[in-house]
Amino acid sequence: MINRMRLYPLGKTHGFTLVEMLVTTASVVALASVALVVSRSTLSRAQQTNCMGNLKNIGAALHMYAADHNGKFPETTHTTDFDEAWIVKLEAYLGDFDSVRICPADPRKNERLKAGGTSYILNSYIFVPEIDPFGEPIGTALNRLSAIPQPERTIVAFICSDRTSPGPGNDHTHSNQWSSWSAVCSDIAPDRFGGGSKERAKGRSNYLYVDGSVLSLEAGEIKRITEAGINIAKPPGIEDLP
């Protein structure tokens, strides 16, 4: 017969001490924190890539529209009704525009989608002409490809700020008023991916240029340029712009 008592260790059974339990718990928490950071970073990169694709499609649609309209871009709601604005006009070139006009990292994306708005806003330097007291345009009209001397250096679309209302009337910037970093951040989201700091100087955002290219730029660099007195939205090579 088997002596069942011998199946168990002799003497006092040794369990986890309080210190060992605390060390184990801390290790688990640390590993979970690392996993969460990695997961967020991976999600942010995926959203940024998806957003770049959206902007590239918008850029291609702007060029196709211009080719069909004597080189002229569609208008924003600043100068025309919503039914005639670029959000509607580009749908013919993009098919289901709902999948393109919303940035996947936009915290208000569902609001914008429901309201018919967009996460991407067009540069007012190009789409909102300055008007004199008599209603006449001031300076060079830039709403056509041939009027922009350096398309590869001119930003045509930005990702909007969280403060931008979700309605379709908010489809353009107010970039001629970007005299400070706070003014920039009230209009666009320079830290849309990997940001979130109080100063909005961490992370990065995507920018669509007139030539159709899309660049990802660091928020800190945009802040440095802005504080040096340079407006990133102002098309280079145009001397008569304010």
Q: Residue 159 contacts by C-beta under 8 Å, 6 or more apart in sequence? A: 51, 103, 106, 119, 120, 121, 188, 189, 192, 205, 206
Which tens digit of pLDDT belongs to each residue from 25-47? 655 555 545 444 445 566 778 99
CA dihedral 221, 56, 237, 66 (to 10 degrees): -160
3-class SS shares of the chain: helix, strand, coil, % to 5: 45, 10, 45
DSSP assignment of 18-58, as one string? HHHHHHHHHHHHHHHHHHHHHHHHHHHHHHHHHHHHHHHHH
pTM of the predicted protein model: 0.81
CA-wise closest residue to 127 among 167, 176, 94? 176
DSSP 161: P
Which tens digit of pLDDT belongs to each residue from 166-206? 999 999 999 999 999 999 999 999 999 998 888 999 999 99
Per the CB < 8 A criterion, the answer to whether 87 and 118 are in contact is yes
pLDDT of residue 97: 85
The mean per-residue pLDDT over the stretch 60-68 comes to: 97
Task: For the chain, give the mean pLDDT.
Answer: 86
pLDDT at 8 over 60: no
| Higher local confidence (pLDDT), 109 or 242 | 109
Strand partners, 122: 157, 172
